[in-house]
């Protein structure tokens, strides 16, 4: 039976998800360009300027999972609307801020609304698209993020040069407010009645403290190196995380549903996102240092040398969705991790005599590999949870994409001085090994038939993947889901 094509609701949801993700990505890239001018105009110290980024990152990391749970409880579109409107209002406030203290405070508030916004962009997609159709929307979302990453520094530089640093914050005001208004104007489909689940506020607080300590520790490493304070912060993060896991296993209404927390498929995909993003962003940091301090390139020339990575993010994401549909998530992720590791290794071989060709080839492989990993792992995370837990799944994906890059940059910062000066070869070799470490996790992803690698010795480890295997006999259920946007009942794979 022919399946119905996309409806207006599908298109509106996809547009909202893509534009929402672009707004957040663009905000981070243009801020980096604006910070030097902001510092001069407001007479701020370097530490204060760093907190305009650090405060935002900590706020986002603390609240992502709880925000995803709010979306599961009250509706992703409502949470998305609140996040978009708040993000736009705080952006305008930062543009009008009279001093650096206001900027830092409003950036923290913007991080709160960003945490509401980000998981909802994936939760809305999962609520509308059936599991076997969600790969392409996620690929389009990934391409848009890559485009924003490429255009952000150029656009930010043009705005700062022409209108000053305040202009980069006004850039997102109209799109964010328009998104929030349109989300409020669209009526959500009736939610199926079910038992009201209480929000796990103690669990949310424990997770927030653990992530805040972890992110604060990792963000501080590039500036101060690894110190006793860094060790203490990491120890606190680990201890609180252990308390959080114990709490989740004992509480009646956990923040992370058992089907998500205990799913080896979802856990493997999240682990792949962490190691791949750590390798990717650690390499970008080390590569930028090499290009500017060893080869003597200016920031614009450095950006142009790294441009193939962004281009391949844009082009590689749709191609990855096609490959995943044809060969399965397991093979696609394994191949993408190998391409990513090859790109890192190629860049680790650069020296003072390196030309634009090997540099461009290294960044091209880097972007192609990361695009494949991001599309595949994100699709697995969102697909292999029930629709009522899509917000938490999206939040965990976003958390992995926040922790991974900070971990990679911290690792590169610690490793580069150990090799003497700005030698990047040893640091990049370690980061390539980090990417390769994701291969065993890739074996746990579903194959072409949608089923993860079985573990006869541990049957319970295969639980939590109700959408693992889908066949043509289920097309009637899938079509019904596309028509009304509610999850149809599916049998578990035998």
Please tell me the predicted confidence (pLDDT) of residue 215: 87
pLDDT at 344 over 90: yes
C-alpha distances in Å from residue 82, one per residue of 18, 110, 340: 17, 12, 37
Provide the pLDDT for residue 25.
86
- Given a contact cutoff of 8 angstroms between Cβ atoms, the answer to whether 16 and 124 are in contact is yes
| C-beta of residue 431 within 8 angstroms of C-beta of residue 255 | no
Q: Domain check: are 242 and 127 in the same one?
A: no
Q: How confident is the model at residue 115 (pLDDT cuts 50, 70, 90)?
A: very high
Q: Which residues contact 390 (CB under 8 A, 6 or more apart)?
A: 71, 72, 76, 122, 123, 126, 127, 382
CA distance 87 to 81: 10
Q: Which of 330-339, 342-351, 379-388, 448-457 has the lowest mean pLDDT?
A: 448-457
At residue 455, φ and ψ (nearest 5 deg) are -125, 90
How many domains, in total, are found in the chain?
A: 3
Same domain for 280 and 215?
Answer: no
Q: Assess contact for 56 and 29: CB atoms under 8 A.
A: no
In a domain, 171, yes or no: yes
pLDDT surpasses 60 at 204: yes
Is residue 38 domain-shared with residue 139, that is, in the same domain? yes
> Does one domain contain both 287 and 420?
yes
> What does the radius of gyration of the chain's CA atoms come to, in whole angstroms?
22
Where on the phi/psi map is residue 393: left (φ > 0), alpha (ψ -120 to 50), or beta?
Answer: alpha
Query: What is the predicted pLDDT for the residue at 151?
Result: 81
Quick check: 9 pLDDT over 80?
Answer: no
CATH number, domain containing residue 97 = 1.20.1250.20
Q: Mind listing the pLDDT tens digit for each residue in 371-401?
A: 999 999 999 998 888 878 888 888 998 899 8
How many residues comprise the chain?
Answer: 494
Residue 424 reports pLDDT greater than 90: no
DSSP assigned state of 193: P
Cβ within 8 Å of residue 242, ≥6 positions away: none
Of the pLDDT bands very low, low, confident and very high (cuts 50, 70, 90), residue 454 is very low
181 in the same domain as 216? no
Cβ–Cβ < 8 Å for 213, 236: yes
| Section 38-48 average pLDDT | 85
Secondary structure (DSSP) of 167-189: HHHHTTHHHHHHHHHHHHHSPPP
Kindly give the residue spans of alpha helices, DSSP state H, lying in 349-438: 356-383, 390-418, 425-436
222 and 265 fall within a common domain: no
Q: Check: CB of residue 279 under 8 Å from CB of residue 344.
A: yes
CA of 137: how far to CAs of 67, 379, 394, in Å?
22, 9, 14
- CB distance 458 to 377 below 8 Å: no
Query: Does residue 249 lie in a domain region?
Result: yes
- Chain Cα centroid distance, residue 208: 17
Q: What is the DSSP string of 253-276?
A: S-SS-HHHHT-HHHHHHHHHHHHH
Q: Could you say which of 138, 164, 187 is where a domain stops?
A: 187
Question: CB–CB of 400/73 below 8 Å?
Answer: no
| Predicted pLDDT of residue 475 | 37
Residue 216 has pLDDT above 60, yes or no: yes
Residues 271 and 239 in one domain: no
Does any domain span residue 456? yes
d(CA 147, CA 483): 32
Range of the domain at 224: 200-254
Does some domain include residue 489? no
Q: What average pLDDT score do residues 289-317 get? A: 84
Mean pLDDT of 253-281: 89
Residue 74 sits in the same domain as residue 137: yes
The C-alpha atoms of residue 450 and residue 431 are separated, in whole angstroms, by 30
Confirm whether 477 is domain-assigned.
no
Q: Which of 342, 341, 345, 348 is nearest to 290 (CA)?
A: 348
Question: Same domain, yes or no, for 350 and 270?
Answer: yes
Same domain, 289 and 415: yes
Please choose, from the candidates 473, 381, 481, the residue with its C-alpha nearest in 3D space to the C-alpha of residue 493. Answer: 473
Torsion of CA 290, 294, 297, 299, to 10 degrees: 40
Domain closes at, from 254, 271, 300:
254
Q: Is residue 192 part of a domain?
A: no
Is the predicted pLDDT of residue 479 greater than 70, yes or no?
Answer: no
Residue 1 inside a domain? The answer is no
Determine the Cα angle at 350 with ends 346 and 351, to 5°.
165
Position 421 pLDDT exceeds 70? no
* C-beta neighbour count of 118 within 10 angstroms: 29
Query: Does 127 share its domain with 265?
Result: no
Taking alpha carbons only, the member of 114, 381, 363, 367 closest to residue 256 is 381
The DSSP letter of residue 389 is: G
Mean pLDDT, residues 132-142 taken together: 87
CA 255 from chain centre, in angstroms, equals 20
Burial class (CB in 10 A: 0-12, 13-18, 19+), 432: buried
Q: Does the residue 430 lie in any domain? A: yes
Tell which phi-psi region holds residue 316, choosing left (phi > 0), alpha (psi between -120 and 50) or beta: alpha
**Are 379 and 428 members of one domain?**
yes
Residue 368 has pLDDT above 90, yes or no: yes
């Amino acid at each position: 039976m022919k399946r119905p094509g996309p409806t207006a609701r599908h298109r509106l949801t996809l547009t909202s998800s893509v534009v929402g993700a672009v707004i957040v990505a663009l905000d981070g890239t243009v801020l980096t360009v604006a910070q030097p001018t902001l510092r001069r105009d407001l007479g701020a110290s370097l530490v204060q300027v760093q907190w305009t980024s650090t405060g935002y990152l900590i706020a986002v990391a603390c609240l992502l999972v709880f925000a995803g749970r709010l979306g599961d409880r009250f509706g992703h579109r409502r949470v998305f609307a609140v996040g978009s409107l708040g993000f736009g209002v705080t952006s305008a406030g930062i543009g009008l801020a009279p001093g650096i203290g206001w900027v830092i405070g409003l950036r923290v508030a913007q991080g709160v609304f960003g945490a509401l916004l980000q998981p909802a962009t994936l939760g809305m997609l999962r609520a509308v698209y059936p599991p076997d159709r969600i790969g392409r929307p996620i690929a389009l979302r990934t391409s848009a993020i890559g485009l924003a990453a490429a255009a952000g520094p150029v656009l930010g530089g043009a705005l700062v040069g022409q209108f000053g640093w305040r202009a980069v914050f006004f850039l997102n005001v109209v799109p964010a407010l328009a998104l929030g208004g349109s989300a409020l104007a669209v009526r959500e489909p009736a939610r199926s009645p079910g038992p009201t689940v209480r929000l796990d506020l103690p669990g949310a607080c424990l997770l927030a403290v653990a992530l805040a300590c972890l992110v604060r520790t990792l963000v501080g490493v590039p500036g101060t190196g690894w110190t006793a304070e860094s060790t203490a912060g990491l120890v606190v993060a680990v201890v609180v995380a252990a308390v959080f896991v114990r709490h989740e296993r004992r509480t009646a209404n956990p923040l992370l549903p058992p089907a998500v927390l205990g799913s080896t498929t979802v856990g493997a995909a999240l682990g792949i996102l962490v190691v791949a993003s750590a390798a990717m962003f650690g390499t970008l940091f080390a590569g930028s240092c090499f290009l500017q301090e060893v080869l003597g390139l200016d920031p614009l020339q450095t950006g142009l040398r790294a441009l193939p990575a962004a281009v391949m993010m844009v082009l590689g994401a749709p191609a990855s969705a096609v490959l995943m549909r044809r060969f399965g998530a397991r093979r696609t992720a394994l191949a993408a991790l190998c391409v990513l590791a090859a790109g890192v290794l190629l860049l680790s071989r650069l020296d003072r005599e390196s030309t634009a060709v090997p540099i461009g080839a290294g960044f091209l492989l880097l972007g192609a590999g990361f695009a494949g990993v991001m599309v595949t792992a994100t699709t697995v995370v969102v697909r292999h949870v029930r629709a009522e837990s899509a917000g938490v799944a999206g939040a965990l994906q976003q958390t992995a994409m926040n922790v991974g890059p900070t971990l990679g940059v911290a690792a590169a910062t610690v490793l580069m001085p150990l090799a003497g000066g700005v030698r990047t070869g040893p640091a990049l070799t370690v980061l390539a090994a980090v990417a390769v470490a994701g291969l065993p996790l890739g074996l746990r992803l579903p194959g072409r038939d949608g089923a993860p690698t079985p573990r006869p010795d541990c049957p319970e480890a295969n639980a939590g993947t109700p959408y693992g295997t889908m066949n043509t006999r289920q097309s009637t259920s899938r079509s019904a889901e596309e028509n009304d946007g509610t999850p149809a009942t599916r049998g578990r794979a035998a």
